Structures are given as structure tokens and as C-alpha cells.
Structure 1
Amino acid sequence: MLNWIKFFSVFFLALTSVIVVTIFTSAYKPIASVKTSAIEKAIQSEQIAEAEYAQPYNGIQTFVTVFGLDSKGEQKAVFIDENKKEASFEEVKLTDGISSDVAIEMVSKELDIKKLLHVKLGLEEVGPVWEVAFKNENDKLSYVYVLFEDGQWWKRILNL
């Protein structure tokens, strides 16, 4: 009897593990597909010769920001709008603005960051911005948008 209990316990644990892995894998496929497509578009437009990584950005419009090197070896970020079929997309040289580390530093000078969730480069109506998402000392979700060009604060959404 004890062997049957052990068998069913191990069987259900293995079955649960397989189901969880399958669900997470299938849930991640759409975003992985969008990232791959954005990287291909950035390379096809010849704005980036070698892609390093891509990250989605959801603002007023949804973009995938592709980071990489252009043909001259300069680091760039290209904002790919999956809905447009343009030959070229908006881009910025990463040396023309502040880095993500500087954006985090600027936010942490004025606000207490308990846990940093993410920092993403995106495109808004004012131009490129760093979106800094974090939890504050009260465990409330906050977003701060810092302008890429000069590090000025554009928008704050605090204590959600």
C-alpha cells in the first residue's frame, strides 16, 4: 500500500511539473515571436547590423525596442512598430542620451526604490524615454518616465 501512495505522489508531482512547464512555454511564445520579428525588421532595414537584444514597450503605442550595433559599430536602439510596414524606423544612438543606470540613479535621488522591477527605453509623444518601474517603501507600484536626451522627468505615476 505504501508503494502505491509513493507511486501516485511521484506521478502527480511529475504530471503537475509537465503541465506547468507546458503552460509557461506556450504563454511565452507570442512575445518571443514578436521579439524575433522585430530583430529581423531592424536588421532588414539596415539600421542595425548586429542585434544584442529586444524588449517590448507599451505606452500610447506598442513598440519593440531593439538594441544593437550599426554598421559603424555604434550602439543604437531602434523602435519597431509591428503594425507598420515601413522601410525604416525611428532610432537613437545610445551615446546621445543618458543610460538606464543614470535614469535609475536620477529616480532614486528623489524617490525611495525598494525593489526595481524594470527599466525600458520606449518612444512617447515627447520622444525617447526611460520607463523606470519599481515598488516603493510602501510596496506600491510606481512608474517614472525620464527623458532619454537630458534626464528630465517627464511623467510620474506613483502609488498604484
Structure 2
Amino acid sequence: MKKTIFFAVLLTIVVIGAMVAVFINARSPVNDRAEVALQRAEAETDIASTEDVSLYNGKKSYVVITGENTSGEKIIVWVPEKDEEIIVKKWADGISKEAAINKLKGENDVNEILSVKLGMESVGPVWEMTYLDDNEHLNYYYLLFETGEWWRKIENL
């Protein structure tokens, strides 16, 4: 009986260890990309501190960094995957995350918001919001960061 319990515990530890190793290995390219983008942003912009780093995949892929510049203003930095120009906007020049969510809820039947993140599309900086509607359909809703105007919807997936 003790041998069975010992082997069950040992097997559980091995399985959990393997799962952790797979997860870390799978996240490695994303973490490496974020680190390279942070280094590039620090070298090419006046970002002084970092608050958040996320990855956005639209027509082009960007690492989106929020933080403060050397003047203490909150900024957003979009670092493209290739050696294209970095885009920097002041947080105050766009609508807030809360305002974007309120507009989404005011115009759509939202059951659950899955994510809200900044991105970059051909029209410029956007808020990308993914949500489930009352029928549990997946929906994407995009607002222009600077004006809060609706840009695009992808509904009922």
C-alpha cells in the first residue's frame, strides 16, 4: 500500500514538472520578443519606466508597452516586429480603458468581457475588446484610441 502511494505521488510530481517545463518552453519566444522590444524602446524613445508589456497581433505584430517618459507623463509605445518606426502616444491623448469598456457596453449586449488591450491597425492605435454576448458568441470590437470612435466589429464567432 505504501509503495502504491509513493509511486502515485512520484508520478504526480513528474507530470506536474513536465507540464511546467512545457509551459515555460512555450512562453519563451513571447518573453524573448518582449525583452527585445523593451530594449529597443528604451534605446529609441524617452520611456523611463515600464508598467505593462503585451503582445498584439493584427495585420502586423506589435509589442505594446505602457509606462512613463522622462517627464513623468504616462505613455504608450508600440514596437513593431520588424525594424519599422516605433510609435509613441501620450496616454492623455486617447480614451481610457474604462471609457472604451463603457462604450462597448452601451452599444452591445455584453455578457462577459474576455480582454481589453491596446493594439495597432492600419487606422492607427486601437482598443481591441473581446467579449461574449448573451448568446455566448465570441465578438471583437475595435475603437480608435484617439477619438473613441467605432472602427470595426467581428461578431458571432
TM-score clears 0.5: yes
Which whole-Å CA distance do the structure 1 matches of 2:113 and 2:34 have between them? 23
2:86 aligned residue: 89
Give the unaligned 5+ runs of structure 2.
none
TM-score by length of 2: 0.94
The equivalent residue for 1:54 is 53
Q: Aligned with 2:139: secondary structure? A: strand
More strand by proportion, 1 or 2? 2
Once the two structures are superposed, residues 19-57 of structure 1 have per-residue CA deviations (whole angstroms, 9 ceiling, x without a partner) of 111111111111111111111111111331212221111
2:120 maps to which residue?
123
Question: After the TM superposition, which segments of 4 or more aligned residues of structure 1 sit over 3 Å from their partners?
Answer: none
On the 8 A contact 2:94/2:147 being kept in 1, the answer is yes
Q: Give the letter aligned to residue 103 of structure 2.
A: M
Letter in 1 for 2:98: D
Q: Which runs of 5+ in 1 are unaligned?
A: none
1:70-81 aligned within 5 A = 70-81=69-80
TM-score (norm: length of structure 1): 0.93
Query: How much identity, in percent, do the aligned residues show?
Result: 36
Q: For the residues of structure 2 that align with 1:3 and 1:68, how far apart are their CA atoms?
A: 55
SS at match of 1:119: strand
Contact 1:103–1:151 under 8 Å retained in 2: yes
Q: Which residue of 2 aligns with 1:106?
A: 103
How far is the alpha carbon of 1:140 from its aligned partner? 1.4
Query: Residue 112 of structure 1 aligns to which amino acid in structure 2?
Result: D
Give 1:78 shift: 1.0
